[in-house]
């Protein structure tokens, strides 16, 4: 799936180009912001309180309607500070953003060498809550699509009390929706770089 696109640089003046590149340094797609918040296990109210911004500004950033670059920049900096990186590539030939998503930083994130990093590990490589955030659905909507209850979706997202069948059903639903799960590790250890993004076509 393609995210809402940034302005096309081919249609801009020199002044416009300067603003455009400043925009691209900061810009994060709404779906990636929702996924990042899910990875951090925070709700909109909690993030807004931490950043001293309004719920209206949070909603605007996560919907793409009326968001300001300043608010997006603060959110990006906040999640970066938690150890979350944003993914995605702007294709200027098609004016589309592809592969948008978010994941926990890991040793292959291209970080500065010879600097200690405290990476975040997860018990599973399937970040179901982040996948739901990427799609922009609530638990009730997902539950209806996979014939489970909202409580079962909550348990799967929390990693508690679920069956192999329900786990596979939810994983398949998200993958069929075009989402790629990210993360490396093994069953006997934590997974690193866990996150989600839209699968590139």
- Residue 27 — pLDDT band, cuts 50, 70, 90? confident
User: 53 and 71 in contact (C-beta within 8 Å)?
Assistant: yes
Buried b (16+ CB within 10 A) or exposed e, 65-89: eebeeebbebbbebbeeebbbbbbe
pTM of the predicted structure, to 2 decimals: 0.82
Give me the CATH number covering residue 24.
Answer: 1.10.260.40
Q: Which residues pair with 122 in a beta bridge?
A: 191
User: 103 and 182 in contact (C-beta within 8 Å)?
Assistant: yes
The domain in which residue 145 lies consists of 1-201
What is the total count of domains within the chain?
1
- Residue 200 — pLDDT band, cuts 50, 70, 90? confident
Q: Which residues pair with 191 in a beta bridge?
A: 122
Quote the pLDDT of residue 119.
84
- Is residue 180 classed as helix, strand or coil in its secondary structure? strand
Structure tokens at 164: 């192999």
Taking every pair of Cα atoms in the chain, the longest distance, rounded to a whole number of angstroms, is 57
State yes or no: pLDDT of 151 exceeds 80.
Answer: yes
- Residue 19 — pLDDT band, cuts 50, 70, 90? low
pLDDT higher at 100 or 12: 100
Q: What is the pLDDT of residues 49-68, one digit of tens each?
A: 999 999 999 999 999 899 98
Per the rule left: phi > 0, alpha: psi between -120 and 50, beta: everything else, 74 is alpha
pLDDT higher at 7 or 167: 167
């Amino acid at each position: 799936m393609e995210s809402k696109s940034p302005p096309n640089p081919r249609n801009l003046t020199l002044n416009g180009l300067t603003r455009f590149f400043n925009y691209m340094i900061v810009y994060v797609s709404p779906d990636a912001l929702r996924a990042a918040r899910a990875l951090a296990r925070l709700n909109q109210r909690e993030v807004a309180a931490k950043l001293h911004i309004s719920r209206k500004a949070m909603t605007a950033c996560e919907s793409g309607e009326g968001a300001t670059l300043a608010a997006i920049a603060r959110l990006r900096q906040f999640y970066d500070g938690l150890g979350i990186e944003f993914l995605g590539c702007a294709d200027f030939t098609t004016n589309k953003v592809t592969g948008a998503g978010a994941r926990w930083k890991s040793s292959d994130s291209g970080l500065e060498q010879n600097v200690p990093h405290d990476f975040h590990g997860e018990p599973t490589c399937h970040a179901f809550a982040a996948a739901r955030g990427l799609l922009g659905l609530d638990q009730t909507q997902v539950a209806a699509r996979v014939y489970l209850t909202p409580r079962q979706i909550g348990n799967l997202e929390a990693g508690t009390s679920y069956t192999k069948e329900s786990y596979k059903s939810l994983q398949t639903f998200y993958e069929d929706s075009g989402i790629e799960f990210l993360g490396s590790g093994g069953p006997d250890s934590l997974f690193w770089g866990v996150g989600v993004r839209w699968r590139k076509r």
